[in-house]
Structure 1
């Protein structure tokens, strides 16, 4: 199905509902939750997923597994999605927190084909076999470390959200301490308790994640320069792989 409303079909007696959607540029899907678990695959663009506990960056041609009942919002940056909404009892192995995963070519084509199905597809015929194969392949996916923790409340969470939206290598602990109205020592202690990372390490990781949307329109050299890396090679070391691999496969 394409551009359909989940609420109009959630009652159907099928374990998996495939729904593909094309979103306007820079579209915010406001905070919500689903009764079903969700595979949210981005055929194009970059998705920024946020829950109470953290933020996930999902480059093109990757997916995020969202557990049933977890409140989340998604910012869609030029995104076309292929989603599968899955009855929780059908996937007892589903992760308990959002997880970004690699999507190998076979799974990609299976999810694409599933999103062409009608709402009342034949669960006992070829269509049902296709969907069951998708679930089998999903159990083989590899997770990607594209998550960053977020503090639970003010004043630290607003600072982190603002930094994710506009990362700046010049921002220091002193800047954050002044904005939060606390000493640098208190900031460091509170931040480590909330995220498990120092503020400086958190900002460094945030810059890596912020690079993925930039790579949609900027070269590796331009992206490295905008985020304060000394060279494209330093940026590549920070990201842990060839940055061009995050551009994704062409969508439809």
Structure 2
């Protein structure tokens, strides 16, 4: 399959469900989402299906540059550089990219998904998995069955099945009032209103908000909001924001308190976390 860019011929942007091979991999490189003009951006969205859509085949998306956000019913994921997300076949999903995008996408037929996750999830990638995805993107669209190409695809599937599950996931409630809170927090993440304040803004009692949120996400309000802040932070850092800027935009009193929260949840401070994925 060809490696796609904003200069690619749209005729090359094929529907992977129509390709009679168990795995079809494509690459998209050097796409600056901010730099595209309106016409090119509209074409990119239409042909690359960045809005809600689904495939018969499952989809593994690896981000090498840029940060991707993936939303499905019941969940929101952040995919930082050098990470991946798995979306099973038939699941309606939406991708939004931040910054200059370089990614590889493997579409996998349901007939070979037996060892792959049954639900949408983030995956931590190994150097071998990344190289296999890049190499498979250079294969002919109709690569030969039973040859070295098939062996490469088999190894790729084994690596995907063995990849550890990542943790940049936010359970998304289905309740319309809670969805409104998500939108308001994302629009004003520095707002440190209490749970009672947020409940009142959407016409709920504090007790009802806590009960519905716990039943639909399994999280307390404080933990859920912190996870949303964490995902916003990774998105902004991936787009080039400084640690101080992110701390300010999230309403932290100091950069050090933000760094402490980030390290506690993701295992390393923000600068190191992002540099390891550069």
| TM-score using structure 1 length | 0.89
Within the alignment, does 1:16 sit opposite 2:23 as a pair? yes
Within the alignment, does 1:245 sit opposite 2:273 as a pair? yes
* CA deviation profile, 1:192-227 (whole Å, cap 9, x unmatched): 222222222211111111110121212334433432
Q: What pairs with 1:41-80 in structure 2 (closer than 5 Å)?
A: 41-78=62-99, 79-80=101-102
2:37 aligns with none
| TM-score using structure 2 length | 0.81
1:219 aligns with 242
Contact 1:46 1:59 in 2 (8 A): yes
Q: Give the drift of 1:98.
A: 1.0
- Structure 2 portions without partners, runs of 5+: 5-11, 35-40
* CA deviation profile, 1:66-103 (whole Å, cap 9, x unmatched): 11110011111132220100111112122121111111
- Answer 1 or 2: which has greater helix percent: 2
Separation of aligned partners in 2, 1:141 and 1:47: 19
Separation of aligned partners in 1, 2:142 and 2:62: 22
1:83 aligns with 105
Q: In angstroms, what is the RMSD of aligned CA positions?
A: 2.1
Within the alignment, does 1:5 sit opposite 2:8 as a pair? no
Q: What pairs with 1:89-100 in structure 2 (closer than 5 Å)?
A: 89-100=111-122
Within the alignment, does 1:25 sit opposite 2:33 as a pair? yes
Separation of aligned partners in 2, 1:221 and 1:131: 43
Within the alignment, does 1:102 sit opposite 2:110 as a pair? no
Contact 1:66 1:99 in 2 (8 A): yes
Q: Secondary structure at the match of 2:52?
A: strand
* CA deviation profile, 1:11-40 (whole Å, cap 9, x unmatched): 332100111124441676110111001111
Separation of aligned partners in 1, 2:118 and 2:224: 23
Of 127-136 and 163-172, deviating more is 163-172
Separation of aligned partners in 2, 1:49 and 1:162: 19
1:133 aligns with 155
Q: What pairs with 1:149-164 in structure 2 (closer than 5 Å)?
A: 149-164=171-186
Separation of aligned partners in 1, 2:145 and 2:276: 31
